[in-house]
Amino acid sequence: MTETKKSWQDISATMLKHREQTIAAIEPAIPDPPKELPLNVTGIPKQLLPADVISITETPTERLLQNLASGTLSSTDVTKAFLQRAGLASKLTNCVTEMLPERALTRAKYVDDYLAKHGKPIGPLHGLPISVKEHVSMKGLDINAGFVSWVGRIAPDDALILKLLRNAGAVFYVRTTEPQALMHLETDNNIYGVTVNPYNTALTSGGSSGGEGALMGMHGSCLGIGTDIRGSIRSPAANNGLFGLRPTSYRLPVGGWSATMLGSEHIVPVIGPLSTSLAGVKVFMKTLIDQQPWLYEPSLITMPWKDTSTASLLRKGSDGKRKLRVGILADDGVVKPHPPILRGMNTLISKLRSHPDIELVDFPPYKHEEAWRIISSLYFADGAAEEREAIDASAEPWLPLTKFIITDNPNVKNLTVSELWGLTQDREGYKAAYTQHWNTVNTGLPSPESKAELQVEAMAERDKMVDVILTPTGPGCAPPHDCARYWGYTSQWNLLDYPSLVFPTGLQAGAEDNAEEGYTPRNEQDKYNYELYKPETYIDAPISLQLVGRRYEDEKLIEALEMMSEVAGLPFKNQ
């Protein structure tokens, strides 16, 4: 007898029921939120959860690690606290695919027993609960990557990154949502539905690591794993007022995740951290790279982590102090950012400008519209055949933002080998030109258009070059659902493979951020973004910015933000 194929709705219902069962397994039981909720739900946990849970989950990552390593806090207590808060976060924002209470508490007990027996922590992440994006493989669990037809695919093993984090003492307790096809700057799929922004539930949490973003925005996690091929770590970090790093490619292991286009090297995806603190980002990177992951994943580069606490990577002035030159790229010349973003840029610039050790330099954009043509042509070299097959196999509906990037994208086509080679040449040519452009800013070196030969003696200008670029993460704060349709402020750096670090300013959008009257849009994308903005739509949305560095200067990028934060007093208090 032939088995009746389940509808996509039935599959979704089964997965939703499983999620509810995993939340119900958490003890003590998680209270249900009130039926009438404000748009900003970040204050609800303090109304419903015990004070000790609030205290633990709002402790900075670095302090939690100190308390766990010393035994001041047990991993069991910390894990129980984060299970509680993550379960409530899911009820409020729809950010979780499943909770893992049994696995997590078994692991936490092991970690606690290890400390009691040996008198020392397992490693630098001893006992710390870490959240994981669903498509990062976890042995024995579903890895559907947001496709209904992939539900039931079971991970045969843990991803390498999980093995390394566990080796350092981590505890995995929750898995988080992602969008259909993993190719939205929002998080919405036909299995779990829409993940919303905790600061304003009418807005998106970002994507594709939007489950991580919303969970962390609710303090249901302090450190988690995201992935990024167009802004998928940075968009959720920005939308939820977090720190998020897109590392340079081939620094962290990506083996063992579930996705379409595995093996594609035209635009290289990366894996990286989101955290409620900058120190969390730093310890995540250092912990993994200190374990020499290139010994297990040979595509990774052999580059140890540089400890900037002992040897600064920034320039030294004649007075022996660190010096930092920041390029200011407030507008990419394609889509003008909304007023709250420009306010965030201007507020930070005003705090940095007067400091004697920081120099601010205008950094003009260089053909960012050409970067989008190249990267949007290379995302789906097979014409999105694998995405189409995975979506159509279950007859699930195509969601609006999936259509936006695939069927409505004029640059998506099944490329011939020669066309792919040609676009790869365009990519490398653009990367070379942008490097030369960076070199020219604030120096006397020739521009990319000059075609002049680089003179060796001109390299004396190196000390005048910009160290990092300060720029928006997007053309606005978290947009309304289905409206994240301009990727240029993040995908630009994916094409160039520049490390990019998002950080919160501490400011939030408000009624004072009036729309610009009489503005004439530059193009259709700019017109869409301009018409999207109404101050009342974005109330309470976090204002976040992005710092960009040169390839493989990830450590320098983090050090630069540490210095800027200290000088400017980040995060600011919202007025």
Active centre residues (catalytic) = 133, 208, 232
Closest CA to 269 of 217, 301, 227: 227
Q: ω into residue 45 within 30 of 0, thus cis?
A: no
In b/e form, how buried is each residue of 464-478, taking b as 16+ CB within 10 angstroms? ebbbbbbbbbbbbbb
**Residue 124 and residue 442: Cα distance in Å, rounded?**
41
Closest CA to 474 of 533, 518, 521: 533
* Cβ–Cβ under 8 Å, residues 469 and 553: no
Closest CA to 273 of 221, 317, 310: 221
Structure-block tokens of residue 2: 């032939």
Q: ω into residue 208 within 30 of 0, thus cis?
A: yes
Q: Which long-range contacts (CB under 8 A, 24 or more apart) does 553-556 make?
A: 553/248, 553/313, 553/499, 554/245, 554/247, 554/248, 554/251, 554/285, 554/499, 555/285, 555/305, 555/306, 555/307, 555/308, 555/313, 556/308, 556/313, 556/314, 556/467, 556/468
Closest CA to 274 of 213, 338, 187: 213
Element (H, E) at 335: none
**Residue 516 and residue 377: Cα distance in Å, rounded?**
33
What CA–CA distances, in Å, run from 125 to 61, 120, 131, 168, 410? Answer: 10, 12, 13, 5, 45
**Cβ-based neighbour number of residue 527 at 10 Å:** 14
* Cβ–Cβ under 8 Å, residues 425 and 377: no
Structure-block tokens of residue 246: 């897109």
**What is the DSSP secondary structure assignment for residue 150, as one 8-state letter?**
G
Closest CA to 290 of 136, 500, 125, 119: 125
**Residue 519 and residue 475: Cα distance in Å, rounded?**
15
Phi, psi of 415 (to 5 degrees): -75, 140
**Cβ-based neighbour number of residue 372 at 10 Å:** 20
Residue 416, helix vs strand vs coil: coil
